[in-house]
Structure 1
Amino acid sequence: MAEISVSLNAKLTIERRGQLALFGINRPYIQNRIDPETFRAMAKAYYDYDRDPSLRAAILFGHGDHFSRGIDVEGFKALALTGKPLISGPGMTDPLATHKPHRAKPLIVAVHGDTWNMAHELFLVADVRVAAADTNFGQDECTHGRFPGGGATIRFVREAGWGNAMRYILTGDHWTAQEAYRMGTIQEIADTAQSALERAVDLGNRIAACGPLGIGASLASAHSAIDSGEEGALSQLEEQYSALYRTKDFLEGRAAEAEGRKPVYHGN
């Protein structure tokens, strides 16, 4: 793990602060939308973090005005149509935790501004979540002829309850940090993006001061209680998501978004 952050031109910055690793999504010119290269950089960063015994906690955040507006659809389109996985081979840990190996060390996320779709799913994977007061959450794939293919159909339901999750997944409506706190998907609200990150760092240092074996055992025990029933559903997400890229409704959703009009879906 690098001692200081990598080039500011990198799509994912990596910084070490003592026993903490900070991962920063760094595509502010495109609202931090995540393309395959960014996703793979996160997968490698998570893998390296998990295997560095001197690191005790990690923080995920976003540079610029937004945490992230989620997937870079055009960037992923060609990959999705091939049916190949987002990541494969050794040295990678799936940031969406839909495939093993899963991350074994604590992850804190600090979000602000727009936190939509895949970004919200990356947020849900974290163990502790802090949001700035201006955070605008969204899981609006259904309005674009897609569906939440990164785990929200499982984790959002688990964290917020069926009715709360479906209220937003099925309508595509967005929601506030205060609403997320009510539903239980965030643990703290901070005034600004900077204070959210500072609070995440403070929590990370508090975690790092604890016994690492106890932290690891706590995470493993908690996951063993809840993950077994989710594994099958998570493993099907890529196939389900790729299938939607082949539909006329997906093409209509993309065309309507580009043309600034309401889509007309026909269910095929």
Structure 2
Amino acid sequence: MGATEHLKTERVGATLVLTLNRPEARNALSLPMLVGLHDGWAEADADDAIRSVVLTGAGGAFCSGMDLKALAGRGMAGEHCRDRFAADPDLHWKAMLRHHRPRKPVIAAVEGPCVAGGTEILQGTDIRVAAESATFGLFEVRRGLFPVGGSTVRLARQIPRTHALEMLLTGRSYTAREAERIGLVGRVVPDGTALDAALETAALVNAGGPLAVEAVKACVYDTAELSEAEGLALELRRGMPVFATEDAKEGARAFTEKRPPVFRRA
């Protein structure tokens, strides 16, 4: 499940790696890529053996966004996928994480261009690692377009508003170091090592109790727009049941016995 001609899937331990695989087009979005992403998120949600997801791109690029040649009328790759979109008109928004939030943590490993739709997908991920030469930006206004992948709503909630508006309104390119400085990505690593760094982070996530990890992620997002009092109340509703799980007891036993815990999602 998940793999298409433009989307590769691989299991690395408890991590599902989704690789945008259209390097000849700098991983511009295509119908098979969107179908593959949609199915990859669904696979991660459905399979309890998957504890985290890493999203990356092939060929030294993350994603260059919409296929502008297709938009200009030259045909979008993967016409054979049209039936999937007819069956679910929301499929592309779920694939791009606009209308779907995976319950497992999603870590982005960015090499090369991550622009336009690439930067929009990035905003749906939870932890972001970028290579030194990675570039970011929302170029839509320069082409008379609108970034409908969620950026006019999400970006100012993730980085300071002045930086969000500068990115949205100027359409200029940002280096990885600029993206780190404004908080769009969390860490910059040497070129060629973003995937390794993301997998190392995923391994740390995977070592935690899965029920606890998923509850923490859900609580962070669910409380984002609440008042502090409302958020604290929701935190107790989300968090206290975790203490009653067998995994919580196992974590305490393992600490006492000085051994790695064996979590069973129970």
Aligned residue in 1 for 2:110: 111
Q: Is the 8 A contact 1:46 1:93 kept in 2?
A: no
Over 6 Å off, 4+ runs = 89-93
SS of equivalent to 1:170: helix
Higher relative contact order (CA 8 A, sep 6+): 1
- Which of 203, 206, 216 is the equivalent residue of 2:204? 206
Q: Is the 8 A contact 1:104 1:220 kept in 2?
A: yes
Q: Deviations over 1:37-76 (max 9, x none)?
A: 2112101111111110101001000000311111113446
Specify every segment of 5 or more residues in structure 2 that has no aligned partner in the other structure, as ranges: 76-84, 228-266
Specify every segment of 5 or more residues in structure 1 that has no aligned partner in the other structure, as ranges: 80-84, 230-268
Q: Is the 8 A contact 1:137 1:176 kept in 2?
A: yes
Aligned residue in 2 for 1:167: 166
Q: Which amino acid aligns with 1:88?
A: D
- Which of 34, 37, 51 is the equivalent residue of 1:39? 34
Partner Cα separation in structure 2 for residue 93 and residue 55 of structure 1: 23
Aligned residue in 2 for 1:124: 123
Partner Cα separation in structure 2 for residue 111 and residue 19 of structure 1: 20
SS of equivalent to 2:123: helix
Partner Cα separation in structure 1 for residue 71 and residue 31 of structure 2: 6
Q: Is the 8 A contact 1:71 1:118 kept in 2?
A: yes
Q: Is the 8 A contact 1:35 1:76 kept in 2?
A: no
**What CA RMSD, in Å, does the superposition of the two structures yield over aligned residues?**
2.8
Q: Are residues 206 and 71 of structure 1, via their aligned partners in 2, closer, same or farther at CA, if it must alter by over 3 Å?
A: same
Q: Which amino acid aligns with 1:94?
A: K
Q: Deviations over 1:178-202 (max 9, x none)?
A: 111111111110011x311100000
Q: Are residues 185 and 91 of structure 1, via their aligned partners in 2, closer, same or farther at CA, if it must alter by over 3 Å?
A: closer
Partner Cα separation in structure 2 for residue 118 and residue 94 of structure 1: 13
Partner Cα separation in structure 2 for residue 86 and residue 19 of structure 1: 33
Compute the displacement of 1:223 (Å). Answer: 1.2
TM-score of the aligned structures, taking structure 2 as reference length: 0.75
Q: Is the 8 A contact 1:96 1:151 kept in 2?
A: no
Aligned residue in 2 for 1:255: none
Aligned residue in 1 for 2:45: 50
Aligned residue in 1 for 2:221: 223
Aligned length: 219
TM-score of the aligned structures, taking structure 1 as reference length: 0.74
Aligned residue in 2 for 1:65: 60
Q: Deviations over 1:229-259 (max 9, x none)?
A: 9xxxxxxxxxxxxxxxxxxxxxxxxxxxxxx
Q: Are residues 188 and 153 of structure 1, via their aligned partners in 2, closer, same or farther at CA, if it must alter by over 3 Å?
A: same
SS of equivalent to 2:223: helix
Partner Cα separation in structure 2 for residue 215 and residue 196 of structure 1: 23
Partner Cα separation in structure 2 for residue 142 and residue 174 of structure 1: 13
Aligned residue in 1 for 2:183: 184
Q: Which amino acid aligns with 2:96?
A: L
Partner Cα separation in structure 2 for residue 96 and residue 176 of structure 1: 22
> Looking at CA atoms only, which structure, 1 or 2, has the larger radius of gyration?
2
Compute the displacement of 1:225 (Å). Answer: 1.1
